[in-house]
A and B are shown apart, each in its own frame.
Chain A
Amino acid sequence: MASYIMRRLLIAIPVLIGVTIFNFIIINMAPGNPVEMFVNPDATPAQIELEKERMGLNDPMVIQYFRWMNSLLHGDLGYSYSTYEPVTQVLLERMGPTLLLMGLALFFGLLIAIPIGILSATKQYSKLDYATTGFSFLGISIPHFFLGLGAIYIFSVQLQLLPTGGMMTLGSGGGFVDRVEHLILPVFVLATGIAGKKIRYVRASMLDVLGQDYLRTARAKGLREFVVTNKHALKNALIPIITVIGLEIPLLIGGAVITEQVFQWPGMGLLTIQSIMSRDYPTLMAINLLTAVIVLVANFATDILYSVADPRIKNN
């Protein structure tokens, strides 16, 4: 096991270096430059050129990359071009709200998806099954911006029940109830999408298991159908679902770009959009690097979790 972990960690290093190189090239190939975004519109081309020179943007890309890499290895992610704050601080500020939003969305998404998926599978081809299948396709197909704007229109504009966006009412200090109110709509939108996808997986995985011989053995013992389904079948059905849930973990940190934009949620997704708009290279690079790390870690964690859940894997 220890050698397996070591091997996975060593493989991760070239992958991460590759990711940074690709990102650096792509970002630098994008038209425009950060100076144009923040200088005074009256600035002369000479002044802009001077500023670019000062920021090192005129150096060859390779030099810029190694300069960035060098400071990264010293634990320094640089300063944001748009807010002049250290990138590390910017990321830390945004990570909390995203983790909260995405964590709740994933939690509620699964809370809906797992029981409904099970029910849908045990009552295959019933009206309930068709209804949940319909709901899940709806959840998958409705774009988040549409569902988000629709929810804002109904619950905020028409019914005036919930706030339109943000994390708390400005100037109110943000009490618990206020924060919960701000969370409801974005969590609803994200959880709907997650539940839609996961219901399909839970149902399919459960159907695979429901025909297995060992369930007949369990029934032959005289166990109640509830125990047969939720103990004997579910534990088997959840094994493949671990992988699918593992794929969502990066979103916990990476955030939901569109939903955060719609609800002005001050998280990583919104930061990503803002950084792209303002050509904030250091922040963008940091976001990309962080996302890459999280993807690798999540995949690794999924593999470990898999071997915990499935005893047949442990010994190999």
Chain B
Amino acid sequence: MKHLLEVVNLQTAFQSEKSEIIAVDEISFTLNAGETLGIVGESGCGKSITSLSIIGLLGKKGRVKKGNIYFDNEDLAQTSESDFRKIRGNQISMIFQEPMTSLNPVFTIGNQMIEGIKLHMKLSTKEARSYAIEMLEKVRIPRAEEVMKEYPHVLSGGMRQRVVIAMALACKPKLLIADEPTTALDVTIQAQILELMRNLKEESETAIMFITHDLGVIAEMADKVIVMYAGQIVEEADVFTLFKNPKHPYTQGLMASIPHIEYEEEERLSSIPGTVPTPQNMPKGCRFHTRCPYVTEQCKQERPDLFQINDTHKSRCWLVKTEKHNKE
């Protein structure tokens, strides 16, 4: 089967005052229709940059420097801006982190809903309106018809995120990128939104890229997971393997730093020492070696590739390579 999305060796760079900064590098993964891909990592690891590269919203200073992004057999890395606009919001859409600020405060919900619907579905204003109401009902917004006339500030954060989801799903996208859609919401609302997204996904064949730093959310939502560190993929696996058998020391560190309610009270929650290196002074060798408990001389000198452990599991770690080598 042909993949819906195939990212090959993506490298995204940003132009700063003097030099060019490589924000993400060597990103490759695939995503099929109906699948949910979780992308985890700390702030600044390149999760959002990866997704913005795919939807082509890097802004003036950012650009895809290398690699290909095949979406429906079209390379988005080569697509012109005007062709991209036909895909964006139509076949690929995106939900952002901050529901409080991601709607325009001076336009009504209706106005903002209808805008995209009219643009991509070529409906009349009246048809677009009733379709927008239908979409709002689908994301379980009560009094959808009145909400159309409301301005964003009268809605709660959870309701606004529902509106954003309704907007993103209106044109029945093949790919939905959700960039920390529940991070800014409180836990009960978070659960409702996740539930909603799961249901909507089951109804359609939409593939979802779910970006988060919350492993709990990943466990609930994702089919397969990519762990990112310092602009690279460090581990890739299906969700069960990743939680049961994390191979990369970074993933293991992340897992260990999840608080468990059944733990002894005195036990300190473990954390990964040190901080993420900045793109300007990336360490030589493995990018994680400065913080890794298993660091070897090889890690400090040579850059590891993403080694294949089995069909679905990959890890960017020398240990994995050695382990596999020893077995053979």
The answer to the question of B249 belonging to the interface, with a C-beta cut-off of 8 Å to chain A, is: no
- CB distance A218 to B119 under 8 Å? no
- Count of chain A residues near B, Cβ 8 A: 21
Taken together as a complex, chains A and B put the C-alpha atoms of A311 and B116 apart, in Å, by 22
Give the contacts of B242-271 with A (CB-CB under 8 A).
none
Query: B88 contacts which chain A residues (CB < 8 A)?
Result: 219-222
- CB distance B115 to A221 under 8 Å? yes
Taken together as a complex, chains A and B put the C-alpha atoms of A280 and B163 apart, in Å, by 65
Which one of A212, A214, A222, A312 has the greatest number of beta carbons of chain B within 10 Å?
A222
- CB distance B151 to A218 under 8 Å? no
The answer to the question of A309 belonging to the interface, with a C-beta cut-off of 8 Å to chain B, is: yes
Q: A311-B151, A311-B153, A312-B153 are known contacts. Are A220 and B106 too (CB-CB below 8 A)?
A: no
Give the contacts of A66-116 with B (CB-CB under 8 A).
none
Cβ-neighbour of B104 out of A218, A220, A224, A309 (below 8 A): A218
A235 to B, closest residue via Cβ: B106
Taken together as a complex, chains A and B put the C-alpha atoms of A10 and B85 apart, in Å, by 55
Give the contacts of B54-111 with A (CB-CB under 8 A).
55, 57, 85-90, 93-94, 96, 98, 101-107
Query: A258 contacts which chain B residues (CB < 8 A)?
Result: none
Query: A224 contacts which chain B residues (CB < 8 A)?
Result: 85
Cβ-neighbour of B86 out of A214, A220, A222, A232 (below 8 A): A222
- CB distance A311 to B106 under 8 Å? yes
Query: B98 contacts which chain A residues (CB < 8 A)?
Result: 213
Query: B151 contacts which chain A residues (CB < 8 A)?
Result: 311-312
Which one of A213, A214, A220, A312 has the greatest number of beta carbons of chain B within 10 Å?
A220
Main secondary structure of the interface of A (DSSP, over half): helix
Q: A311-B151, A311-B153, A312-B151 are known contacts. Are A222 and B119 too (CB-CB below 8 A)?
A: yes
Main secondary structure of the interface of B (DSSP, over half): mixed
Chain B's nearest CB lies how many Å from the CB of A242?
12
A214 to B, closest residue via Cβ: B104
> Could you mark each residue 300-311 of chain A with 1 if its beta carbon is under 8 Å from any beta carbon of chain B, else 0?
000000000111
Query: A212 contacts which chain B residues (CB < 8 A)?
Result: 101
Give the contacts of B103-134 with A (CB-CB under 8 A).
103-107, 115-116, 119-120
- CB distance B105 to A236 under 8 Å? yes
The answer to the question of B167 belonging to the interface, with a C-beta cut-off of 8 Å to chain A, is: yes
The answer to the question of B164 belonging to the interface, with a C-beta cut-off of 8 Å to chain A, is: yes
Query: A220 contacts which chain B residues (CB < 8 A)?
Result: 55, 57, 88-89, 93-94, 96, 168
Query: A219 contacts which chain B residues (CB < 8 A)?
Result: 57, 88
Taken together as a complex, chains A and B put the C-alpha atoms of A212 and B106 apart, in Å, by 13
Taken together as a complex, chains A and B put the C-alpha atoms of A62 and B127 apart, in Å, by 72
Taken together as a complex, chains A and B put the C-alpha atoms of A214 and B160 apart, in Å, by 12
A239 to B, closest residue via Cβ: B106
- CB distance B115 to A217 under 8 Å? no
Taken together as a complex, chains A and B put the C-alpha atoms of A230 and B66 apart, in Å, by 33
- CB distance A221 to B116 under 8 Å? yes
B97 to A, closest residue via Cβ: A213
Query: B96 contacts which chain A residues (CB < 8 A)?
Result: 213, 216-217, 220
Q: A221-B115, A311-B151 are known contacts. Are A214 and B167 too (CB-CB below 8 A)?
A: no
Q: A213-B96, A222-B120 are known contacts. Are A236 and B104 too (CB-CB below 8 A)?
A: yes
Taken together as a complex, chains A and B put the C-alpha atoms of A76 and B85 apart, in Å, by 66
> Could you mark each residue 144-164 of chain A with 1 if its beta carbon is under 8 Å from any beta carbon of chain B, else 0?
000000000000000000000
Query: A222 contacts which chain B residues (CB < 8 A)?
Result: 85-90, 116, 119-120
The answer to the question of A223 belonging to the interface, with a C-beta cut-off of 8 Å to chain B, is: yes
B150 to A, closest residue via Cβ: A311
Taken together as a complex, chains A and B put the C-alpha atoms of A96 and B119 apart, in Å, by 47
- CB distance B119 to A232 under 8 Å? no
Query: B167 contacts which chain A residues (CB < 8 A)?
Result: 217, 221
> Could you mark each residue 131-168 of chain B with 1 if its beta carbon is under 8 Å from any beta carbon of chain A, else 0?
00000000000000000000101100000000010011
- CB distance B102 to A236 under 8 Å? no
Give the contacts of A213-264 with B (CB-CB under 8 A).
213-214, 216-224, 232, 235-236, 239
Q: Please name 18 pairs of A and B residues whose Cβ atoms are closer than 8 Å in the assembled complex, sorted by A.
A: A213-B96, A214-B102, A214-B103, A218-B115, A219-B57, A220-B57, A220-B168, A221-B115, A221-B116, A222-B85, A223-B116, A235-B106, A236-B105, A236-B106, A309-B106, A311-B106, A311-B151, A312-B151
Binding site for A on B (CB under 8 A): 55, 57, 85-90, 93-94, 96, 98, 101-107, 115-116, 119-120, 151, 153-154, 164, 167-168
- Known pairs A222-B85, A222-B88, A311-B153 / 7 extra A-B pairs, C-beta < 8 Å: A212-B101, A214-B101, A222-B116, A222-B120, A239-B106, A310-B106, A312-B151
Binding site for B on A (CB under 8 A): 212-214, 216-224, 232, 235-236, 239, 309-312, 315
